[in-house]
Amino acid sequence: MKKGKKLYEGKAKIIYATTDKDLVIQYFKDDATAFNNQKKTTIEGKGVLNNRISEYILSNLSQIGIKNHLVKRLNMREQVIKLVEIIPIEFIVRNVATGSLTKRLGIEDGTILKEPLIEYCLKDDSLGDPLISEEHIYAFEWANKKEIEKVKKTILRINDFMIGMFRGIGIKLIDFKLEFGRLKTNGKNEVILADEISPDTCRLWDSVTDKKLDKDRFRKDLGDLIPAYTEVAKRLGILHEQSNVSAVNVTKLSSVKKKSK
Ligand code: 5GP
């Protein structure tokens, strides 16, 4: 299997074709963006860490039977993934109220939610990823009822698994974003988990100190992001093995080059 031409470039990743029509390569960039692209930076080493952390989480999800697009990690920045048709919805899962939820509804920051709350946003940067209802999804045929029912069940299993996984390493899973895609097999569409799960897409707070170990460090200027992402990777136990990514290497990569604010 050989790497082919660039198919798509997003804010944090690039997708390349391969010689296998069913597989593509996902490349993790070092670019960090926030507030609908108004704040932009390059943070050396971020892509390497997200590649490893996302590989770890998606592999673990596979092991508990949650189908996803990951085939294998290729190198420091790339993974082979199954080509899917991305459903144009960002599925947000919240265990604790913070971020846009608190701003939108005036809920006190840090309020623990009795049940996980699922929100839907239309995946459209030009519109600022607006919040939508389940009815909007059906009205505009972004997905059908069967797909959304399956996604909701899957999301709750993912949330349960991830809460436990992070609790075990002293981290609270506050909220996160998921994306799903349609995989065509034998002419039939199956909805599977896609994109990435990393500190870029989750809010992760230290269980004892509430220190932010996620992209809010960049969004809110809370200090270096790389040591926080490295801390998450170390606690998950993925920076100890013999490989071309080590805590030392990543720390060396931690200089932050600001392009613009
Ligand atoms: P909020 O709606 O509070 O800004 O975000 C809720 C959760 O979803 C956070 O964990 C945030 O990181 C994630 N999230 C929402 N939209 C995006 C997005 O466009 N990109 C990324 N990387 N994460 C997002």
In the CATH scheme, what is the code of domain 3-84+226-260? 3.30.200.20
pLDDT band at 186 (very low <50, low <70, confident <90, very high): confident
State pLDDT tens for residues 104-135: 999 999 999 999 999 999 999 999 999 999 99
Ligand 1 center from residue 202 Cα (angstroms): 7
* Residue ranges of domains in the chain: 3-84+226-260, 87-206
**Is residue 175 lining ligand 1, measured as CB closer than 6 Å?**
yes
Place of tokens 């992209």: 215
What is the topology classification, in CATH, of domain 87-206?
Answer: D-amino Acid Aminotransferase; Chain A, domain 1 (3.30.470)
The torsion angles phi and psi of 198, rounded to 5 degrees, stand at -155, 175
3 state SS of 245:
coil
Atom number in ligand 1 closest to CA 174:
10
Atom number in ligand 1 closest to CA 100:
3
Nearest CA to ligand 1 atom 18: 201
Q: Return the best residue to mutate from 177, 200, 202, 219 for the ligand 1 pocket (most ligand atoms within 8 A of CB).
A: 177
pLDDT band at 36 (very low <50, low <70, confident <90, very high): confident
pTM: 0.92
Helix (H) / strand (E) element for 62: namely helix 46-63
**Is residue 178 lining ligand 1, measured as CB closer than 6 Å?**
no
